[in-house]
C-alpha cells in the first residue's frame, strides 16, 4: 500500500532527473526517456495494478509538466504498459535483444505520434526536432535499455529486501 503513496514522489524525481540529464549530457539534443523505459520495465516485471499505476502516474506527470496535448503521455504510457505486459507472456524479459527491440519500437511510435499530433494540431508543440534525430534518440534509448533494466532490477531488489529471519 505504501507503494501507491510514495510512487508519485519517486516518479517526479525520475522525471526531473531525465530532463536534467538530457540537458546536462547532450545539451537538449537527445532526450533520455527514462520514464518510458520504466513503464516498459513495469510491463515486463510488475503486476498489472502496480504497472498501470506507474504508467498513469508517469503519463499524468509528463502531461502536466510538459504542457503537451491533453492526455498524450497518459494514454501512450498505458498502451505501452499493456503492450509490454502482453509481450511479457511470450518474450523472456531478461533477453537484451527483446528489451532493445521493445524500447526502440515504443520510442519510434512515440516520436511518430508526436509528429502526427503536431501536424494535425497546426503546430509542432510536441516535436521540435527532425525525424532523423528522433530515430537517433530511439536507437540511443534502445542501446542503454538493458543497462537501465539491470539497474531497475537492482533498485527493486534493494527496496523490496526483507530482513532475514533466524
Tens of pLDDT along 42-89?
999 999 999 999 999 999 999 898 877 788 899 999 999 999 999 888
Mean pLDDT of the 128-153 span:
83
The pTM of the full predicted model, rounded to 2 decimals, is 0.86
pLDDT tops 90 at residue 97: no
Cα dihedral 6/81/24/111 (nearest 10): -150
pLDDT tops 90 at residue 120: no
Residue 77 grid coordinates? 504510457
pLDDT tops 80 at residue 131: no
What percent of the chain is predicted at pLDDT more than 70? Answer: 89
All domains of the chain, ordered by start, with CATH?
2-154 (1.10.1760)
Amino acid at each position: 500500500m505504501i507503494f501507491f503513496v510514495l510512487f508519485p514522489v519517486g516518479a517526479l524525481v525520475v522525471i526531473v532527473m531525465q530532463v536534467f540529464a538530457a540537458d546536462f549530457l547532450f545539451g537538449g539534443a537527445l532526450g533520455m526517456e527514462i520514464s518510458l523505459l520504466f513503464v516498459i520495465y513495469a510491463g515486463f516485471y510488475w503486476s498489472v495494478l502496480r504497472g498501470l499505476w506507474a504508467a498513469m502516474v508517469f503519463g499524468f506527470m509528463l502531461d502536466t509538466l510538459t504542457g503537451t496535448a491533453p492526455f498524450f503521455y497518459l494514454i501512450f504510457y498505458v498502451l505501452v504498459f499493456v503492450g509490454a505486459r502482453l509481450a511479457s507472456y511470450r518474450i523472456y524479459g531478461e533477453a537484451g535483444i527483446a528489451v532493445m527491440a521493445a524500447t526502440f519500437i515504443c520510442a519510434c511510435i512515440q516520436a511518430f505520434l508526436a509528429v502526427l499530433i503536431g501536424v494535425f494540431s497546426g503546430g509542432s508543440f510536441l516535436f521540435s526536432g527532425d525525424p532523423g534525430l528522433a530515430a537517433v534518440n530511439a536507437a540511443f534509448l534502445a542501446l542503454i535499455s538493458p543497462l537501465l533494466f539491470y539497474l531497475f532490477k537492482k533498485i527493486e531488489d534493494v527496496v523490496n529486501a526483507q530482513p532475514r529471519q533466524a
